[in-house]
Amino acid sequence: MQKHILLTGGTGLIGTHLTKALLDKGYTISHLGRKPGNDPKVKTYLWDVPKGEIDEACINGVDTIVHLAGAGVVDKRWSDERKKEIIDSRTKSIGLIYELLRKKDHIVKTVVSATATGYYGDRKSEILTEESKPGNDFLAEVCIKWETAADEGAELGLRVVKFRTGIVLDKEGGALPQLANPVKWGVGSPLASGEQWMPWIHWRDVVRMYIYGIENDTLSGVYNMTGPNPVTNQQLTKAVAAQLDKPFWAPNVPEFILKLILGEMRIAVLESDRTSSKKIEDTGFKFDYPELSEALKEIYG
């Protein structure tokens, strides 16, 4: 029987790619969103997480839930109110779905949830596996609470898979355009020391890994959603410059400048996370783009 998949965050960058890939495979796809969708192939059910409102019909016939919803971490400066919104949009949203599953008959068996490598905090050159301890900054707090909220599905007898996602390389959005724009103007420059490790992954491998998690009933628990060859900020910036045939000569951006511009949010670009992809590879998953040069060539090809 083909799966019926309900996506939260289905209109975001990854959600859009994943929706298309799943439709192409013949799956039935529904979205949970704040406003009606405009894709005739996808039924959109409405919810209002802050108000605790959800269309109870959203789980009818659904056997798999993919939870991608969450306010953008670097979209706005981190006031106390914004921090609460970032956490609540991830935790209260999945909690609202679980509340519905507790009170209504359903056939949901699997929840696949996003989380992030921010879980680890700033760890310099330490090689990070899924067993590594969490960090103690705000991004780590977000991820810990995000994963804890997703794990409540186990109490409902669900298979729960969590993917700690790194920097998704996609020229349509996310971190790459922000990094590439100065490069295009010939002023590409590493941030601070440039030595911080950046756990990158091609967006196509992200989509493939989500599908892998959906389709493989043997997968459960947490996996790093990062490529097998992380690079430093300086190496990534230099590689983008080489791919775009632009100079790489500008001096590093001092940390105090980043502090003035971003405030506490600078940790999102300065944390060093050298993550390992061994656990997911040991299950049989193979990356289409294991090398940065190959990934950038495909993206900008």
* pTM as predicted: 0.95
Share of the chain above pLDDT 70, in %: 99
Query: 258 falls in which pLDDT band (50, 70, 90)?
Result: confident
Question: Backbone dihedral region of 242: left (phi > 0), alpha (psi from -120 to 50 degrees) or beta?
Answer: alpha
Q: In 3-state terms, what secondary structure has residue 48?
A: strand
Q: Quote the CA–CA distance of 194 and 136 in Å, as a whole number.
A: 22
Q: Quote the CA–CA distance of 275 and 17 in Å, as a whole number.
A: 24
Question: Do residues 207 and 14 make contact, with C-beta atoms less than 8 angstroms apart?
Answer: yes
pLDDT at residue 249 is higher than 80: no
Q: Name the token pair of 225.
A: 């959603």
Q: Quote the CA–CA distance of 239 and 274 in Å, as a whole number.
A: 18
Q: Which residues contact 253 (CB under 8 A, 6 or more apart)?
A: 189, 190, 191, 192
pLDDT average, residue stretch 3-30: 97
| pLDDT confidence of residue 247 | 87
Share of the chain above pLDDT 90, in %: 82
**pLDDT one-digit tens code per residue, 195-237:** 999 999 999 999 999 999 999 999 999 999 999 999 999 999 9
| pLDDT confidence of residue 163 | 98
pLDDT average, residue stretch 284-301: 97
Write the DSSP assignment of 179-214 as a string of letters: HHHHHHTT----BTTS-SEE-EEEHHHHHHHHHHHH
Write the DSSP assignment of 114-128 as a string of letters: EEEGGGG---TT-EE
Q: Quote the CA–CA distance of 260 and 50 in Å, as a whole number.
A: 32
pLDDT at residue 1 is higher than 60: no
Q: What is the mean pLDDT of the chain?
A: 94
pLDDT at residue 35 is higher than 80: yes
Alpha carbon 125 to its chain centroid, in Å, reads: 22
Q: In 3-state terms, what secondary structure has residue 167?
A: strand
For each of the domains in the chain, give its residue range(s) and CATH number, in order of start.
4-300 (3.40.50.720)
Query: 2 falls in which pLDDT band (50, 70, 90)?
Result: low
**pLDDT one-digit tens code per residue, 150-187:** 999 999 999 999 999 999 999 999 899 988 988 888 87
